[in-house]
Chains A and B, each alone.
Chain A
């Protein structure tokens, strides 16, 4: 069965410094992986997705993630944090094993990113 582990519930960085949000997954299939961001009182916005093409995926707002099969990881990075990046970030694996005809998302528990001025 698929599962996702976000290794840090909270991460604090100073503005202008790099961001690293860690995600490990478990999947019996070739997984599709996603990162979503949720700003306070908002829905989830897709940052980027990996669907078995290039292992380095570029997303919106300068974020990128690298799929490492050998490490079963899909960590999210950004070279320089901005105050507007403060939000909660969710790593998601898509369950292709669903028999219902739709893909089910398996969510991580989220990482809250705080950006210090």
Chain B
């Protein structure tokens, strides 16, 4: 599955670090999503971008800052994170034409905050 790629696949960072997660989709889609998957919790939608415009921010703390420079790329900038932010961060994309809402997921970035 190479339609949606994410880098890095693993990341360890201290609470004072600044890092970025990158997502790229090669499917010609126009909507992109960030999700957080923590152990024993349902997947949490964080952000949604539609045609590069942010359309959803699910009450995410400001230490997470998304960026969508074009419809193919999505970033999640991280700074001053907390240990409870350790999780698998999944990116997804979809072709929102008003009819098909199928989302395609990347492999995720496993983040550990020390």
Q: Which residues of A contact B (CB under 8 A)?
A: 32, 34, 36, 41-46, 49, 51, 90, 94, 96, 100-105, 107-110
In the bound complex, do residue A43 and residue B94 qualify as a contact, i.e. CB atoms below 8 Å apart? Answer: no
Encode B74-114 as 1/0 by CB contact (under 8 A) with A.
Answer: 00000000000000001010101000111111111010000
In the bound complex, do residue A43 and residue B90 qualify as a contact, i.e. CB atoms below 8 Å apart? Answer: yes
Q: Cβ of B55: which chain A residues have Cβ within 8 Å of it?
A: 100-102
**Contact of B50 with A by CB under 8 A:** yes
Q: Cβ of B21: which chain A residues have Cβ within 8 Å of it?
A: none
In the bound complex, do residue B43 and residue A43 qualify as a contact, i.e. CB atoms below 8 Å apart? Answer: no
In the bound complex, do residue A43 and residue B107 qualify as a contact, i.e. CB atoms below 8 Å apart? Answer: yes
What is the number of residues of chain B that contact chain A, defined by CB distance less than 8 Å?
25
Closest beta carbon of chain A to B70's beta carbon, Å: 17
In the bound complex, do residue B101 and residue A43 qualify as a contact, i.e. CB atoms below 8 Å apart? Answer: no
Contact partner, B94, options A41, A103, A107, Cβ 8 Å: A103
What are 27 of the A-B contact pairs (CB < 8 Å)? A36-B105, A41-B110, A42-B107, A43-B1, A43-B90, A43-B105, A43-B106, A43-B107, A43-B108, A44-B90, A44-B92, A44-B105, A45-B1, A46-B104, A51-B100, A96-B101, A100-B55, A101-B55, A101-B96, A102-B31, A102-B50, A103-B94, A104-B56, A105-B45, A108-B42, A109-B42, A110-B42
